[in-house]
Amino acid sequence: MVTSESLTTIDDTDKSREYRNLHQQAGSRFAQHCLAVAVQADEKVGGEEIEGGLGALDRALQDIRAGMAWAQGRDQEEGWELVRGYGFALVRFFSVRGTWEEWTEWGEAGLKACELLGDIHGMAQTYGNLGVVYADKGVWERAIELYEQSLEIKERLGDSHGMAKTWANMGILYEEQGKPRQARKLWRKALEVFKVLGTPEAQRVREWLEELSNWDTE
C-alpha cells in the first residue's frame, strides 16, 4: 500500500529532479554565452581591433573563467565540446597577456577534451598551441616535443598547411636559441609549402630568411 508519506517523497524527488534540470540548462546557457563572447573578442584580437578585443576579454574574464569551470564539471559530450572551445578561444589573449600558466592549464584541458571527442585535428592544433606556450616560456625541449607531436598528427592527416605553420614556429624557436642553421632549414621547408598553397605566410617567412641572411653576414 502506498502511503501519503511515500507520495510526498516521490513528489519532492520530482521537484528536485526538475530543479536540477533547470539548473543544468541555466549553466549550459551561461557557459555557451561566455564562450561566444570569448570567440567574438578573440576574432578582434586576431584582426584589426586588437585593443578592443583585449579590453572586452579583460572585462569578461571572470565570467569566462566561470563558464570554463562549469564546462569542466560537466563530464559528458556537451562539457567536452565547451572545454575544447574555451581551450582555443583565448590562445591569442593568453599569449599577449603572458599568462603562461593559465594558458597551459586551458590548453591541457582542451587537449583532453579533444581526445575524448576523437577530434584528431583539434589535438594537432592544441599540441602546436602548447608548443608556442613552452617556447615563449623558454622551455625549449618540451616545446620541440609538442611541435613534433603536432607534426606527427598533421602528417597523418595530410595537412600540409598545418605542417608548414609548425615548421615555421619551430624555426622561430631555433632562431631564438641562436641556431640559424636549423631555423633556415625549417623556414625553407615551410616557405615551399606556403608558396605552393599561395598563402600570406610565404611573405613573412621570406622576410625571416632575409633577416637571417643579413645576420649571417654581419
CATH (domain of 148): 1.25.40.10
For residue 148, give its domain range. Answer: 119-218
Q: How many domains does the chain have?
A: 2
In 3-state terms, the chain is what percent helix, strand and coil (to 5)?
A: 90, 0, 10
Q: Could you say which of 65, 86, 110 is where a domain stops? A: 110
pLDDT band with cut points at 50, 70 and 90 for residue 24: confident
Quick one: 123 and 106 in the same domain? no
Quick one: 76 and 133 in the same domain? no
pLDDT of residue 15: 63
pLDDT band with cut points at 50, 70 and 90 for residue 214: confident
At residue 50, does pLDDT exceed 70? yes
Quick one: 130 and 166 in the same domain? yes
Count of positions (residues) in the chain: 218
pLDDT of residue 75: 84
pLDDT of residue 13: 66
pLDDT of residue 136: 87
* Average pLDDT in the chain: 90
Q: Which helix (H) or strand (E) holds 9?
A: helix 4-45
pLDDT band with cut points at 50, 70 and 90 for residue 23: confident
Q: Could you say which of 78, 110, 142 is where a domain stops? A: 110
Q: Which of 4-8, 26-30, 92-96, 145-149 has the lowest mean pLDDT?
A: 4-8
Quick one: 59 and 145 in the same domain? no
pLDDT of residue 196: 96
CA gap 88, 129 in Å, rounded: 9
Instruction: Pick the closest to residue 86 from 24, 17, 39 (CA basis).
Output: 39
Position 78 in a domain: yes
Average pLDDT for residues 108-137, to the nearest whole number?
95
Please give the grid coordinates belonging to residue 39.
570567440
Position 5 in a domain: no
CA gap 175, 93 in Å, rounded: 24
Quick one: 101 and 135 in the same domain? no
Q: Half-sphere exposure of 108 toward its Cβ, with a 13 Å CA cutoff?
A: 7
Provide the 3-class DSSP secondary structure of residue 88: helix
At residue 4, does pLDDT exceed 70? no
Q: Which residue has the cell 530543479?
A: 19
Q: Could you say which of 92, 110, 128 is where a domain stops? A: 110
- CA torsion sign for 136, 139, 155, 121 is negative
pLDDT band with cut points at 50, 70 and 90 for residue 21: confident
At residue 2, does pLDDT exceed 60? no
